[in-house]
A and B are shown apart, each in its own frame.
Chain A
Amino acid sequence: MDISQILQYLINGVALGSLYALIAIGYTIIYGVVGLINMAHGDFFMVAAFLTMWGVLQYNLPWYVAFAIAAIITVLLGLLVEKVAYKPLREQKTSSFIGAISVSFLIQNFFVVVFTSRSKPFPHPAILDQVLNFGKVALPVVNIAIVLVSAILFLALFYIITKTKMGRAMRAISKDLEASQLMGVDPNKIIAFAFILSTSFAAIGAFMYCSKFPYVDPFTGVVPGLKAFIGAVMGGIGSIPGAMVGGFLLGLGEIMLVAFFPELTSFRDIFAYVILILFLLFRPGGIFNVKVREEKV
């Protein structure tokens, strides 16, 4: 294996890892604040991508307008789901998980019924289809865009959670709910804020993901959602840097496994699950060793 090939694998691995990291953050924000595994996160992701596609295909909107509208609808949908389905279940752990599964099914099947499940092309700016060639190494523009967008979003997120009042309140809640309530933090407001952040990340992640892999159907969110979730757990679910690193490593690892052990490709997802289980068993705090949340059965 020569250097150009390794570079090629790296370019692709970094892009995939950044995508997983983007989606994984959505899981971790919600888990950190509410303690809920939001199984519908992948479906919020799908809604953003699907509606963007629909706006362009059906109403001939420019992609940025369609995306803006889709993102707003996704955020509103996230808030609605939180209010209707998650809030009443906040104290029941497993019930809230079942609630999340049913929301996920509901969204998927709603889209199947209304829009059919045929995969449709995802409209994206043409510049993202360009490829820069450096000798034997190909660098698609979309990969650069993914890394850039993720980097900017990560910095923005760090700014929000460390510098703004909302962000600090968010961290306070995830550390100690009762104490922060006593300090005058309104948990409902903060949780709504967390859902806005999480769904925005899902929307932007969906746009980048579907620009790279340009098609969308009602089940688009399932696999990336699951992968990102594994990444989030690896990094320590609830921790934002953890989700980034976990998602990133999982994406990079997926590519590198195929690169170095091509005959094990079909075992790739098995490895992902095994790593997930090993982490939960021996280091439930993940790479960053986050404090495990108190049980609220």
Chain B
Amino acid sequence: MNKSLKISTILSIFAVLLILAGSVLGEKYLDAFQIRLLNMWCIYAIMVVSFNLVYGFTGQFSLAHAGLAAIGAYTVSLLTMAPDNKQLSFFITPPIWPISVVQWPLLPSLILGGLLAAFVGYLIGAPALRLHGDYLLIVTFGFSEIIRLLLTNMPSVCNGAIGLKGIPGYANLTWMVSSLIVCIFVTKRLIDSSYGRALKCIREDEIAAEAVGVNLFRHKMLALVVSSFFVGIAGGLFSNILGTIDPNTFRPYLTYAVVTMAVLGGVRSLTGGVIAAAIYTAMSEVLRGIEAPRLFFNLQFDGLPGLRTLAFAIMLLLLILFARGGLMGSKEFSWGGVISFFQERFNRRKQEDKP
């Protein structure tokens, strides 16, 4: 037991180092489009993993993702933007005092963005987590919309509908990948800890969980706050690769995209979430092909824009109807699994070689 644990941890460390090295190399040798897709993948993966923590593992359906991402994005943007740039962007109402002068590096801004999002997550959770099922999702959705509407209504803080421009793109691929690794690591640790078992217990049966002494509210809140923190980070990174944001960037569609990915990968699997984020990002580019105008049997067809979104809607419906477990169900990637997979292969080949 102890030995296999050791091997898998060493393998994990190696894998992490390998991925980090890969990201540094990728930053150098991949083209900007591939890097952008990888970046988007990391951001979506963080969002999906944190969604799964709240929904898949704790059973609380929260639709506040878009709003929380907006908190992170605006915090990071306002903190990292150069004061001159802010003056240019805020051409209607000048920015208020602390915002007009600050300029921070990325790391503290990201952490503050995450913390603020976690705090807002706490504020949302404090009332909302006392509710169940439908009521919970309505309340979280409401809060997400309130955040977006507040952003449009505070021109002196976040420039209203005009949004922000000139957000420095400090975050490179390595940032994204490291954030994703930290996110997965923390989430995984949380799920495997005694807290995690309590969370799963809540998901399966709240009454039973309470009966065995699990503090429902505290555990749900823990999951939501941790998840909000990472959504805030994802939002901050998102603003960094876009370079410009406005409140309409954080419409509920963003949350629905995350839900689609989570369902695709399997809401009870972090691995599934990461894979699904990759598939979603790749698919939205691959499917561009079906929208393009084309020559078909010598007939010129105009392109049909919108087919991509339609395809995703159909996919989500089919998944929820026929494959609710998603790609991975509740399976996770593990070194043990990989090793036994190869061992099986190896053994089979040996057997094939024998006769």
Q: Which residues of A contact B (CB under 8 A)?
A: 37, 84-85, 88-89, 92-95, 97-99, 101-103, 105-106, 108-110, 112-113, 117, 233, 266-267, 269-270, 273-274, 276-277, 280-281, 284, 295, 297
Query: How many of B's residues come within 8 Å of A, CB to CB?
Result: 40
Other-chain contact of A270, B55, B139, B149, B310 (Cβ < 8 Å): B149
- A233 proximity list for chain B (CB < 8 A): 138
The reply to whether B142 and A105 contact each other, CB–CB distance below 8 Å, is: no
- Are A93 and B142 within 8 A (Cβ)? no
Query: Which of B55, B135, B305, B317 counts the most chain A CB atoms within 10 A?
Result: B317
Q: List 18 A-B contacts (CB under 8 A).
A: A37-B134, A93-B134, A94-B55, A94-B137, A98-B320, A112-B306, A113-B304, A113-B305, A267-B149, A273-B146, A274-B146, A276-B138, A277-B128, A280-B131, A280-B135, A280-B139, A284-B135, A295-B133
Residues of chain B within 8 A of A110, CB atoms compared:
310
A276 touches B263 (CB 8 A): no
Whether the Cβ atoms of B137 and A97 lie closer than 8 Å is yes
B153 within 8 A of A: yes
Q: Report whether A284 and B316 are in contact in the complex, using a CB–CB cutoff of 8 Å.
A: no
Q: Does B32 have its Cβ within 8 Å of any Cβ on chain A?
A: no
A269 touching B149, Cβ below 8 Å: yes
From B256, B259, B320, B321, name the one whose CB has the most chain A CB atoms within 10 angstroms.
Answer: B320
In whole angstroms, what is the CA distance A89 to B320 when docked? Answer: 8
Residues of B within 8 A of A108 (CB): 313
Interface of A is mostly: helix
Nearest CB in chain A: distance from B311 CB, A: 9
Which residue of the partner chain B has the closest CB to A37?
Answer: B134
> Which single member of B131, B145, B309 contacts A109 (CB below 8 Å)?
B309
**Once the chains are docked, how many angstroms separate the CA of A97 from the CA of B135?**
12
List of B residues within 8 angstroms of A95 by Cβ: 320, 324
A273→B314 contact, CB < 8 A: no
Which of A89, A93, A109 counts the most chain B CB atoms within 10 A? A109
| A150 vs B245: C-alpha distance when bound (angstroms) | 43
B132 within 8 A of A: yes
**Contact at A99–B132, with CB atoms within 8 Å?**
no
- Which residues from chain B contact A112 at a C-beta distance below 8 Å? 305-306, 309-310
B contacts, CB < 8 Å to A:
55, 59, 61, 127-128, 130-135, 137-139, 142-143, 145-146, 149-150, 152-153, 256, 259-260, 263, 304-307, 309-310, 312-314, 316-317, 320-321, 324
Contact (Cβ within 8 A) B321 A89:
yes
Min Cβ gap B155→A in Å is 10
Cβ A277 vs Cβ B307 within 8 A:
no
In whole angstroms, what is the CA distance A297 to B131 when docked? 13
User: Given contacts A99-B321, A101-B256, A270-B153, are A280 and B138 in contact (CB under 8 A)?
Assistant: yes
| Closest partner residue, chain A, to B153 (CB atom) | A266
Task: Closest A residue to B312 by CB, please name it.
Answer: A105
**Chain A proximity of B234: nearest CB distance (Å):** 21
Residues on the B chain within 8 Å of A92, using CB: 324
B306 touches A113 (CB 8 A): yes
B312 → chain A closest CB, angstroms: 8
Q: Which residue of A lies closest to B318 (CB)?
A: A102
Contact assessment for B324 and A105 in the assembled complex, using a CB-CB cutoff below 8 Å: no
Complex Cα distance A110/B313, Å?
Answer: 10
Measured CB to CB, the nearest residue on chain A to B130 is A281
A297: chain B residues at CB < 8 Å are 59, 132-133
In the bound complex, what is the Cα–Cα distance between A273 and B145 (angstroms)?
8
Closest Cβ of chain B to A230, distance in Å, is 8
Q: Which residues of B contact A274 (CB under 8 A)?
A: 142, 146
Instruction: List A contacts of B143 (CB < 8 A).
Output: 273, 277
Question: What CA separation (Å) do A266 and B152 show in the bound complex?
Answer: 9
Closest to B145 in A: A273
The chain B residue with its CB closest to the CB of A237 is B134
Contact A102-B313, Cβ < 8 Å, known A113-B304, A113-B307, A270-B149: yes
A97 vs B139: C-alpha distance in the bound complex, in angstroms? 14
Name 20 extra pairs, CB < 8 A, besides A84-B321, A106-B313: A85-B317, A85-B321, A95-B320, A97-B137, A99-B321, A102-B316, A102-B317, A110-B310, A113-B310, A267-B149, A267-B153, A276-B142, A277-B128, A277-B139, A277-B143, A280-B138, A281-B127, A281-B130, A281-B139, A297-B132
- Please pick, from B139, B142, B263, B304, the residue contacting A98 in the complex, using a CB distance under 8 A: B263
- A67–B133 Cα distance when bound, in Å, is 37
Closest to A269 in B: B149
Contact of A269 among B55, B59, B145 (CB under 8 A): B145
**How far, in whole Å, are A84 and B149 apart by their CA atoms in the complex?**
36
* Docked complex Cα distance between A154 and B353 (Å): 79
Closest chain B residue to A96, Cβ basis:
B320
List A contacts of B316 (CB < 8 A).
98, 101-102, 105
> When chains A and B are docked, how far (Å) is the Cα of A247 from the Cα of B53?
36
Q: Is the CB of B259 within 8 A of A101?
A: yes
List, in ascending order, chain A residues with CB within 8 A of B128's CB.
277
Are B127 and A98 neighbours in the complex by a CB distance under 8 Å? no
